[in-house]
A = this chain, B = another copy of it.
Amino acid sequence: MSNTKWYQRSGNQGDVVISTRIRLARNLQRMPFPAAMTVEQKKAVADQLFEVLLEREGESFSHIRMNTLDELQALSLVERHLISPEFARRGEGEALVLSADESVSIMSCEEDHLRIQVMRSGLDLDGAFQEADCWDTYLDNRLHFAFDERLGYLTQCPSNLGTGMRASLMLHLPALQEKGIVQQLSATVSKLGLTIRGLYGEGSGSKGAIYQLSNQVTLGITEAEAIENLKGIAEQIIKEERHHRQELGETLAAQDRIFRSLGILKHARLLSGKEFMSLISQVRMGVSLQLIEGVTLDQLGALLVDAQAATLSLANGDSPDAAKRDALRAELVRECLKGV
């Protein structure tokens, strides 16, 4: 199996959709929810999970006890969207299972006994769901999930009852953000059972103009319906973003911003994480508008992960101070963009 990560591959509609994520919340029968479990019980769940995965042939997984990780390693998993920020606290008994390409990850004893997550590059709700469903079936057959005819899958938080599924798209919306349209989207999509939020900070605009669009409703709706609903609205947003992007891209002011961002990224010797996010967003838009050549959206996608603070520090040995990290980030970015 190759070591290529899922986020290093290009995806469908990659100009706007960075990635697709399906997450299933599942709990074992006859076992208290994690909030009420002892460490021993949590360890037992992880043991069972590790064991049933060992039986599965042709797949290679990392089995990680969260308390064996240091802070940097855990934060890097958050940056790679593999675990929740809460899980990075590395509680005893908590564990993580990770496929080699990092597209499949299972948190053991986060909010629920299992959180099965499948990630795909670009827009691929059906593909991601099929794979998640396949893991769901495999694990259900061996571990037996708590399921109620009326309430569906039982979850610790009532908001996940039913399908227990959260489908999310990570969207790059620089044009809608710049034109102030993305801020209005929030009210619209919530009426349609969805939620949109800035992935890197709320407020006037998400850092890097990256937003997460997810389904909110899990009860009284099938997985297929939830996915169709999300897909339909995402397609509208993608169309809107492309339209405004095209319009913006024809202005000299936007071209100036795009190329300046490229110029700074290609030459800076120090880059803070915040500045990087804002500049890479402009460059990503420039690539999608074919104003910039010599770097692909996949390369930028990988850079978006690799340039995050903990992941960057980890790749460079130890935990450098902020100034050193800004220098490492600038170096990584220059290397990535040298062909432009």
Q: Give A contacts to B, CB under 8 Å.
A: 252-253, 255-256, 259-260, 262-270, 323, 327, 330
Contacts and interface: CB of A to CB of B under 8 A. Distances in A.
A184 B264 CA distance: 33
A84 to B, nearest CB: 35
Contact of A267 (B252, B260, B323, B327): B260
Contacts of A264: 260, 263-264
B268 A253 contact: no
Indicate the member of A263, A268, A330 with the most B CB atoms within 10 Å. Answer: A263
A257 to B, nearest CB: 9
Nearest to A259: B267
A262 B267 contact: yes
A290 to B, nearest CB: 16
Contacts of A266: 263, 267
A327 B262 contact: no
Nearest to A262: B267
Contacts of A262: 263, 267
A293 to B, nearest CB: 13
A327 B259 CA distance: 13
A328 to B, nearest CB: 11
A260 B268 contact: yes
Among A264, A265, A267: residue with most chain B CB under 10 A: A267
A268 to B, nearest CB: 5
14 contacts: A252-B327, A256-B268, A256-B270, A256-B330, A259-B268, A259-B269, A260-B263, A260-B264, A260-B268, A262-B267, A263-B263, A263-B266, A263-B268, A266-B267
Contacts of A259: 267-269
